[in-house]
Every structure is written in structure tokens, then in C-alpha cells.
Amino acid sequence: MPDDFKIPSPQWPDEKRVIDALTKQIKSILSSQRDAGTSIRYAVPEKFVKSIADVATNAWKARTKMMDGSTGEVREEMKRVHRHIEAMFEGFREMGLEIKDHTGEIFDYGLPLNVVTTQPTPGITKERVLETLKPTIYWQEQMIQMGEVVIATPV
């Protein structure tokens, strides 16, 4: 075969340049969606969302029971287990979950909370959340579980 007849090597596009261009396009699309005031939601089965809320609620209850009510510190006998519960809460944060305990907050009837009962309490001038029975849970800034509370009311 003569030397002047050569098949050229295939020319592949620069992979990094292609990835950068695609990333730029995706960011542009997402940015235009945000600018338009719309949010991009992923379709997640309702049963899955409910299960996530149940797991988070039970972890919250376990953490609450590990605390000494008078000092607010973790009980000595619970310290080894408490670190695992705290690791769960870090995982919840990474998943975009916010678990809100309302105990001690000023209560407003406009809040999205289910009041289970009220308790007349001397010495207060405003309604206050006396106890959170079930936390409010937000996932990706959307409420997936409404909290349940007991409120103290002025006498």
C-alpha cells in the first residue's frame, strides 16, 4: 500500500468541553424556571413521603426522651445512643428535611398547627406552646406533616 493513502484517526469531541456546555445549558434552564417563579418538583410517591415523616417523627420522639427535662442535657445512660440519633438528624438535614419542635413558642391561631388541647395557665399573657406532641416536618421547604401541640392559655 502506498504511503500517501492514510485513514485519518477519528476525531472525538473534547469531553470536558461537551460536559461544560451541557452543564451550562442545564443551569440556564433551572435558572429560567426559578426566575419565572416556578419550582421543579420530583414526583415522589405519597406513601414514601409519609414514611419519611414517620421515621423523622419517631427519631424526634427518641431524641426527646433521651433528654433530661430539667437540665436540657442528654441523660448519662443515653449518651452512647444519642450520637446515633444525632447522626440520623444530620442525614435528615442532608435530605432536605426540617423537623420543627414548637415547644416554648408563642402560639398564633394562624399557624399551621393542630391544637390537641389547651391548658389554662396562670401567669401568662399570650398563648404559648406548652408541649409538642408531633413535630411539623418540612421537606424541600414544603410541609409534609402538620405539627400537633398542647397550648397554654391565659387564665
Q: What is the pTM of this model?
A: 0.69
In this predicted structure, the answer to whether residue 136 has a pLDDT above a threshold of 70 is: yes
Cβ atoms of 62 and 89 closer than 8 Å: no
Q: Is 2.30.22.10 the CATH classification of the domain at 44-154?
A: yes
In this predicted structure, the answer to whether residue 23 has a pLDDT above a threshold of 70 is: yes
Round to whole Å and give the CA distance between 6 and 37: 57
Round to whole Å and give the CA distance between 86 and 63: 8
Average pLDDT of the chain? 86
- Phi first, then psi: what are they for 62, rounded to 5°? -65, -45
pLDDT at residue 35, as a whole number: 64
Q: What's the whole-number mean pLDDT along residues 80-103?
A: 94
Banded model confidence at residue 2, pLDDT cuts 50, 70, 90 = low
Q: What's the whole-number mean pLDDT along residues 144-148?
A: 96
